């Protein structure tokens, strides 16, 4: 999979979204589970970075790390949610049309996506303030950071166990939606 990169200022490049490899036509099949596992890995890596930032508060803030995390946060979350809601969830619905429990689960996860996207936007603003050296309520930012990465870790664990655990890598093959 190719990775798009963003450079805040003159800092190092940080991966922000998962995209098909260069030259790969959108209609060519990609393995969904492999994509989701890579997306989960990137999200968990970001959770680790956010935890390190939270642990550094209030006295040892790495401003560059805050800016890099801010640049990655919203695009990564938005891209994964788009993929899940427009590719994975419809496929699961078609494959398991009679499963009311699955329908409720997918509805719940979609609702969580909305909450996570709003939370990511607020957290991005807080990280930008920290990264620019602006004054922030360190207790509030620490609480936001921990709430976000702990919730995202739980979300990923749930998806792995309840949505993806029953399928092998070769079982789900479909085109990437973008």
Where residue 37 sits, what CATH number does that domain have? 1.20.120.520
Arithmetic mean of pLDDT, 66-91: 94
pLDDT at 4: 38
Residue 145 lies in a domain: yes
Residues 137, 15, 49, 107, CA torsion sign? positive
pLDDT at 171: 52
Number of domains comprising the chain? 1
Inform me whether the pLDDT recorded for 8 exceeds 80: no
pLDDT at 39: 92
pLDDT band at 98 (very low <50, low <70, confident <90, very high): confident
pLDDT digits (tens, 9 = 90+) for 100-139: 999 999 999 999 999 999 999 999 999 999 999 988 899 9
Residue 16 lies in a domain: no
Inform me whether the pLDDT recorded for 72 exceeds 70: yes
Q: Among 170, 177, 165, 128, which Cα is nearest to 40's?
A: 165
What CA–CA distances, in Å, run from 161 to 70, 164, 166?
A: 29, 6, 8
CB 7 within 8 A of CB 15: no
Residue 85 lies in a domain: yes
Residue 160 lies in a domain: yes
Sequence-distant (6+) residues with CB within 8 A of 150 are: none
Predicted model pTM: 0.76
Highest mean pLDDT among 3-12, 23-32, 114-123: 114-123
Inform me whether the pLDDT recorded for 29 exceeds 80: no
Residue 23 lies in a domain: no
Domain that holds residue 153: 28-168
CB 155 within 8 A of CB 116: yes
Inform me whether the pLDDT recorded for 68 exceeds 70: yes
Mark out the alpha helices in the chain (DSSP H runs): 32-56, 63-83, 89-95, 100-131, 138-158
Inform me whether the pLDDT recorded for 155 exceeds 80: yes
């Amino acid at each position: 999979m190719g990775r798009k990169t963003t450079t805040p200022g003159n800092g190092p490049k940080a991966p922000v979204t998962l995209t098909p490899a260069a030259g790969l036509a959108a209609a060519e099949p990609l393995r969904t589970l492999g994509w989701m596992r890579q997306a989960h890995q990137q999200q968990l890596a970001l959770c680790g970075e956010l935890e390190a930032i939270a642990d550094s508060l209030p006295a040892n803030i790495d401003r560059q790390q805050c800016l890099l995390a801010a640049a990655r946060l919203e695009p990564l979350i938005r891209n994964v949610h788009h993929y899940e809601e427009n590719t994975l969830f419809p496929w699961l619905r078609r494959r398991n049309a009679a499963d009311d429990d699955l329908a409720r689960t997918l509805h719940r996860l979609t609702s969580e996506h909305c909450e996570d996207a709003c939370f990511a936007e607020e957290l991005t603003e807080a990280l930008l303030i920290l990264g620019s050296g602006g004054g922030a309520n360190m207790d509030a930012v620490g609480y936001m950071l921990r709430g976000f990465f702990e919730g995202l870790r739980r979300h990923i664990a749930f998806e792995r166990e309840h949505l993806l655990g029953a399928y092998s890598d070769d079982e789900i093959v479909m085109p990437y939606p973008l």
